């Protein structure tokens, strides 16, 4: 298939000299990045440097104009529109502003995603919801609606939602941006725990204290480029 890649030895993510434009403005130019299975990497940089745009390009909301871009078995430069939902099912996406459905319970939020991605058996749906809530420390909170939860609890639910389909990669866009320092630390620790179990995490942030307190690979987004920051 045109949008597929079958090289089993390839890294999970490989970007080579990519260019991304937004309204004719070049956001990234000749930028390269490689990510392996189970790897945790921060993407740091100033507001407007292109961090969020990079993540949007990885889930095909923003096109990559030039270069080579492979994510799992998909060629992001050649991926067909009908293939995008299948790519996204292999990703977990964590937003800063949660994007939970406020008119329904946590369980119903998670059930909605499962049914939308092909789950049909009631017992399997209930079991999967229970599993992910337990994994993020939210067991017993499924009956609550988002407004009944704290910001940190809502972000845990968002992470649970991201885990529903056993993703190979979680894209976390400023996941602590709306949280206090203590809660932020808990969320970052949770994401590190998830990575340690084999799911890669690419997390954008401008919170350098968090990067210091929970050390891992750091990639800097600056002047249209992506550069690994050495210790």
Rounded distance, CA 153 to CA 146, Å? 9
Q: What is the pLDDT of residue 3?
A: 55
* Upper half-sphere CA count for residue 67 (Cβ side, 13 Å): 20
Rounded distance, CA 188 to CA 179, Å? 11
pLDDT at 148 over 50: yes
Q: How many CB atoms lie within 10 A of CB 118?
A: 9
Q: What is the pLDDT of residue 164?
A: 94
154: left (phi over 0), alpha (psi -120 to 50) or beta: alpha
Q: How many CB atoms lie within 10 A of CB 39?
A: 18
The tens digit of pLDDT for each residue in 122-134 reads 999 999 999 999 9
Least confident of 47-51, 185-189, 222-226: 47-51
What is the pLDDT of the chain when averaged over all its residues?
91
| C-alpha R_g of the chain | 17
Q: What is the pLDDT of residue 113?
A: 93
Mean pLDDT of 124-148: 94
Cα 33 to its chain centre, rounded Å, is 16
* Domains observed in the chain: 13-228 (3.40.50.300)
């Amino acid at each position: 298939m045109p949008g597929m890649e079958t090289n089993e030895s390839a890294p999970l993510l490989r970007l080579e000299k990519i260019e991304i434009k937004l309204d004719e403005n070049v956001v990234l130019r000749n930028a390269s990045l490689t990510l392996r299975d189970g790897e945790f990497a921060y993407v740091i940089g100033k507001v407007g440097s292109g961090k969020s745009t990079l993540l949007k390009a990885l889930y095909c909301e923003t096109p990559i104009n030039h270069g080579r871009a492979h994510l799992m078995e998909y060629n992001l430069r050649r991926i067909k529109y009908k293939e995008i939902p299948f790519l996204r099912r292999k990703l977990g996406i964590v937003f800063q502003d949660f994007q939970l459905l406020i008119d329904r319970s946590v369980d119903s939020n998670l059930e909605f995603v499962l049914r939308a991605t092909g789950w049909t058996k009631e017992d399997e749906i209930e079991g999967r919801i229970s599993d992910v809530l337990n994994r993020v420390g939210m067991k017993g909170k499924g009956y609550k609606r988002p407004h009944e939860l704290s910001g940190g609890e809502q972000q845990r639910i968002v992470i649970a939602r991201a885990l529903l389909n056993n993703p190979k990669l979680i894209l976390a866009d400023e996941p602590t941006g709306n949280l206090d320092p203590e809660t932020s630390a808990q969320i970052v620790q949770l994401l590190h725990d998830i990575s340690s179990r084999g799911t890669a995490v690419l997390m954008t942030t401008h919170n350098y204290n968090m990067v210091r307190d929970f050390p891992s690979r750091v990639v800097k987004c600056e002047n249209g480029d992506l550069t690994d920051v050495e210790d």
